[in-house]
Amino acid sequence: MERQEPDATFDDGMDSFLEKFQSQPYRGGFHESQWEEEFEKIPLFMKNSPSEIDPLENPDLACLQSIIFDEERSPEDQARTYKDEGNDYFKEKDYKKAVISYTEGLKKKCADPDLNAVLYTNRAAAQYYLGNFRSSLNDVTAARKLKPCHLKAIIRGASCHLELKNYVEAVNWCDEGLQIDATEKKLLDLRAKADKLKRTEQRDIRKAKLKEKKKQDQNEALLQAIKARNIRLVTEAPGEDEDLASEGLSELALYGLSSENPCGARLSVDDQGRLSWPVLFLYPEYAQSDLVSAFHEDSRFIDHLMVMFGETPSWDLEQKYCPDNLEVFFEDEDRAELYCVPPSSTLLQVLQHPRYFVKALTPTFLVCVGSSGFCRNYLQGKKVHQVK
Amino acid sequence: MSETSPKAEAAKLLPFLMLGERADLQAAAAQHVLALTGSGPGRTLLAGQAALLRSLVELAVAPPPAPARDAARALVNLAADPGLHKPLLEAEPGLPVRLLGCVLDPQWPWAEEAAAVLANLSREPVPCAALIEALAAAEPGESGLERLVRALCTPGYNARAPLHYLGPVLSNLSQCPATRAFLLDRNRCVVQRLLPLTQYPDSSVRRGGVVGTLRNCCFEHRHHEWLLGPEVDILPFLLLPLAGPEDFSEEEMERLPVDLQYLPPEKQREPDADIRKMLIETIMLLTATAPGRKQVRDQGAYLILRELHSWEPEPDVQVTCEKLIQVLIGDEPERGLENLLEVQVPEEVERQLQQQDHQEREQQELELDPGPQAEEAAPT
């Protein structure tokens, strides 16, 4: 056996190899300025994989990918690969990508029902964390069709129902699961939670119902009080009769009592059963108005006017609107006639006048200074009655 | 002219009751036997006829056209008499097992009658033990007791039989510590599934059975804290049947458990006075320990009981209610008396208390329960 002189040849080869370095540039090396990026592109040294693999940019990676997702492998193998891919995305909390992977796996329609059940259940989990509870529920339902005793699917389904506030369904799914494993802690906890929430929801419904009933009773009482006083109401809706039958009254309840004035003033009743009305005073001379939010029916106009005009209002340019000078009218719109109200009358007395119609549950009165020119003009040509 | 004794008459029926006989003859014989079971002497007569009893059991579990229903009803009447349990079980030791099979069969049309027989039998300790043994003979998967609870709690378990009598059966079974241990297993969901049945509208038999079961369970004072806590939350289910359509103030309402808030004006109280009494007794048991008392107080029991007391028409129920209210509003007992179920009562005091009891009993025909109690099915 001829033993070569290793050192000599090696040295020769090595020398000439090394010489090459000095004379020729090494083309396979990294570029100095971007060696880190190029390093990253080598699949073995990659820290993060790119989300999309461009074969031109990353030929090595594209190669590897095509090996894994080779169409020639069996559907079961492919599905399993997609399942693993989905699970990896899931671990990284990239739920959207996980859903896509699982979907691809399901598309393979492989013949293994267990695998498909897992794909459905895992996709359901990803959908759950994306907040798509209905989609999640559809997936676990599909999973259960394939594998009725798949506990993970049942737990997921119960959780979905809980999130969707279907508490009865949640409890039912838990019970079905507990028939398979009577001591499964997650199901026990879910069931207790769902049951409690169901009972709380039932309480809330009862509370709302009672509140509604109370409100209706109050409205009914108010309407009865109005009726008992023979006060006539008018609805704003066109085509309504001015004299209301009892059905009309309840319609009014819906329309009038529930809608408040813009200022929030409403008809109310006190402990003695006396009403207080929101009353609108209009001053046509200056196109002004005042709203008395709670005009007690037994109080007199003059009492309110004394307070309202204790100081003459800013719009009163001639400073003539003093309580003693004021005249109060209401208008019978139907007949276009005015009625002069003695300020010493109570609100109730006026409201009970046969020609007084309360509109939108807010009695309205016109006020001007009796002796003024404006007033004389205003009353010109109109029929004015005196209310006793 | 030959005088046939009743015994001989009864013996004559025997051939017609055998399986394989003509259906119409079987039916007639079964009806005759059923009629006999309607009277004391008739029952005693039948008790002596072991072979006849055996045939009766065979018929009760036989498929159509056998007169299974009448045979079962005859057994219900026989089992209602505790003195007949021994002859029944001697004639047919497999009676509990075979009836249990019928009861738990979702397709069996006479499951309710079978359950009624078991309810009557299980009142007494010996048949009760036999039934428990039958239940324990485990089928793969679900234990017999698990299945029984499931049959009771699942609406529509048996499309043809409502199985209300499973309530009293369970109640009787709960006299046994092993049953209570299963019902109160914290790693499972068992007692929780019974709770909604305290409001079951269609059957006082079922309601009574369930409440009896809960009462027996509440003798286990080690479980009180868990029972009163959020995992079971037993108290609202005991108070709900006792609550009426009370209009509490907003502030009072917020103190009540969620299930008792804002009850509608149509809310009815439990119509059966015995069940009302059992409910109060159950709550009373839960107040035996100091922490239990606190929990019951904190969950607003007093408000409900106060209203119940002013409504309650039955005097003995009212007295029971009063006693519970006293416990709730009374002072805490002295040291050594914190758990009323474990207190050692001195002999002299014991004697005095017994005398007092006797007097009270005479006054109001009160029934005092020394421990877990059994439930009875009514004879048909």
pLDDT score recorded for residue A252: 54
pLDDT at B232 over 60: yes
Please indicate, yes or no, whether the overall pTM of this predicted structure exceeds 0.90.
Answer: no
Among residues A90, A179, A85, A71, the alpha carbon closest in space to that of B150 is found at A179
Question: A210-230, pLDDT tens digit by residue?
Answer: 999 998 998 888 889 998 999
Q: What is the CATH number of the domain that holds A364?
A: 3.10.20.90
Could you say which of A174, A199, A224 is where a domain stops?
A199
> Which are the contacts of A216, defined by CB distance < 8 A and separation ≥ 6?
A253
> Which are the contacts of A327, defined by CB distance < 8 A and separation ≥ 6?
A340, A367, A368, A369, A370, A375
Q: Is residue A208 part of a domain?
A: no
- Beta-bridged to residue A339, according to DSSP, are A330, A385
Place B367 in a pLDDT band, splitting at 50, 70 and 90: very low
Query: Which segment of A140-144, A327-331, B23-27 scores lowest on mean pLDDT?
Result: B23-27
Q: Is residue B100 part of a domain?
A: no
Mean pLDDT, range A5-32, rounded to an integer = 69
> Which are the contacts of A322, defined by CB distance < 8 A and separation ≥ 6?
A309, A312
Q: Is residue A234 part of a domain?
A: no
Which of B150, B188, B262 has the CB atom closest to A207's CB atom?
A: B262
Name every chain B residue with its beta carbon within 8 A of the beta carbon of A191.
189, 192
Residues A185 and A266 in one domain: no
Q: Is residue B34 part of a domain?
A: no
Q: Is residue A254 part of a domain?
A: no
pLDDT at A240 over 80: no
Question: Do the Cβ atoms of A199 and B262 come within 8 Å?
Answer: no
Determine which of A210, A214, A216 to mutate to test the interface with B (most B C-beta atoms within 10 Å): A210
Place A148 in a pLDDT band, splitting at 50, 70 and 90: very high
User: Across chain A, what does the average pLDDT equal?
Assistant: 85
Could you say which of A165, A199, A233 is where a domain stops?
A199
Whether residue B187 lies within 8 A of chain A, CB to CB, comes out as yes
Residues A272 and A379 in one domain: yes
Name every chain B residue with its beta carbon within 8 A of the beta carbon of A168.
none
Query: Which segment of A94-98, B191-195, B328-332 scores lowest on mean pLDDT?
Result: B328-332
Name every chain A residue with its beta carbon within 8 A of the beta carbon of B146.
182
Q: Is residue B284 part of a domain?
A: yes
The SS3 call for residue A87 is helix
pLDDT at B325 over 60: yes
Q: What is the CATH number of the domain that holds A186?
A: 1.25.40.10
CB A53 within 8 A of CB A62: yes
pLDDT score recorded for residue A106: 92
Residues A194 and A287 in one domain: no
Name every chain A residue with its beta carbon within 8 A of the beta carbon of B192.
191-192, 195
Whether residue B31 lies within 8 A of chain A, CB to CB, comes out as no
Whether residue B140 lies within 8 A of chain A, CB to CB, comes out as no
- DSSP class of A256: I
Question: Do the Cβ atoms of B259 and A196 come within 8 Å?
Answer: no
Residues A101 and A181 in one domain: yes
pLDDT at A253 over 60: no
Q: Is residue B40 part of a domain?
A: no
Report how many domains make up chain B: 1
Q: Is residue A206 part of a domain?
A: no
Question: B196-212, pLDDT tens digit by residue?
Answer: 999 999 999 999 999 99
> For chains A and B, what is the number of CB pairs under 8 angstroms?
45
Q: Is residue B43 part of a domain?
A: no
pLDDT at B380 over 80: no
Q: Which two tokens stand for residue A158?
A: 């119960």
Q: Which two tokens stand for residue B80?
A: 């209602």
Whether residue A387 lies within 8 A of chain B, CB to CB, comes out as no
Q: Which two tokens stand for residue A227?
A: 């009726």
pLDDT score recorded for residue A239: 47
pLDDT at A303 over 80: yes
pLDDT score recorded for residue B366: 43
Report how many domains make up chain A: 2
Place B20 in a pLDDT band, splitting at 50, 70 and 90: confident
Question: Do the Cβ atoms of B262 and A188 come within 8 Å?
Answer: no
Q: Is residue B105 part of a domain?
A: no
Q: Is residue A347 part of a domain?
A: yes
Q: Is residue B114 part of a domain?
A: no
Q: Which two tokens stand for residue B312?
A: 């309650």
User: Across chain B, what does the average pLDDT equal?
Assistant: 87
Whether residue A165 lies within 8 A of chain B, CB to CB, comes out as no
Q: Which domain holds residue B326?
A: 220-332
Nearest chain B residue to A189, by CA = B231
Q: Which two tokens stand for residue B251?
A: 């502030």
Name every chain B residue with its beta carbon within 8 A of the beta carbon of A206.
261-264
Helix/strand number for chain B, H first, E second:
22, 0
Residues A272 and A361 in one domain: yes
Share of chain A above pLDDT 90, in %: 47
Whether residue A195 lies within 8 A of chain B, CB to CB, comes out as yes
pLDDT at A4 over 70: no
Q: Which domain holds residue A193?
A: 75-199
Q: Is residue A245 part of a domain?
A: no
pLDDT at A66 over 80: no
Mean pLDDT, range A8-17, rounded to an integer = 67
Whether residue A214 lies within 8 A of chain B, CB to CB, comes out as no
Whether residue B230 lies within 8 A of chain A, CB to CB, comes out as yes
Cβ-count burial of A71 within 10 angstroms (0-12 exposed, 13-18 middle, 19+ buried)?
exposed
pLDDT score recorded for residue B72: 93
Residue A111 has a CB neighbour count (10 Å cut-off) of 11
Place A37 in a pLDDT band, splitting at 50, 70 and 90: confident
pLDDT score recorded for residue B11: 74
Name every chain B residue with its beta carbon within 8 A of the beta carbon of A183.
187-188
Calpha distance A323→A360 (Å, rounded)? 27
Q: Is residue A298 part of a domain?
A: yes
Selection from A187-201, A327-341, B362-376 with the highest mean pLDDT: A187-201
Query: Which segment of A71-75, A238-242, B120-124 scores lowest on mean pLDDT?
Result: A238-242
Q: Which two tokens stand for residue A272?
A: 């003695």
pLDDT score recorded for residue A44: 78
Calpha distance B190→B201 (Å, rounded)? 21
Q: Is residue B363 part of a domain?
A: no
Residue B134 has a CB neighbour count (10 Å cut-off) of 18
Place A48 in a pLDDT band, splitting at 50, 70 and 90: confident
Q: How far is CA A185 from CA A171, A177, B179, in A?
A: 14, 11, 22
Q: Is residue A191 part of a domain?
A: yes
CB B237 within 8 A of CB B197: no
pLDDT at B292 over 50: yes
